[in-house]
Amino acid sequence: MRLSLASLAAIAALTFATFAHAQDLPEGQGKALVQSACTQCHGIDVIVRQPRSREDWTDVVSRMVGNGAELSDEDYNQVIQYLATYLGPARQKAPASGK
């Protein structure tokens, strides 16, 4: 019984952590799909860590599909569109001024 309770607690903690990380994604069409598809194997922090170009996101998502991520063709395109739009290079913060 203790093992079951410990397992349940671990699952609850992981679910909460995933939900908390989901707050880090910008609002936009495709956010829910990215949350559900991409957090099957890793946290949102992995996604938002470094902005990428559309070409780079296409390579990353293609690699993830090759690793087992399940996306229909439509979902695949929507994930790339979301990532390129909201997590592209333009999202990078401008360097701080020298003042």
Considering the segment(s) 2-91 as one domain, its CATH architecture is Orthogonal Bundle (1.10)
Please tell me the total number of residues recorded for the chain in this structure. 99
Alpha helices in 1-99 (DSSP H): 2-22, 31-38, 44-48, 54-66, 73-86
State the Cα–Cα distance between residues 39 and 46, nearest whole angstrom. 9
Question: What's the predicted TM-score (pTM) here?
Answer: 0.69
Give the domain ranges of the chain.
2-91
- For 54-87, what is each residue's pLDDT tens digit? 999 999 999 999 999 999 999 999 999 999 999 9
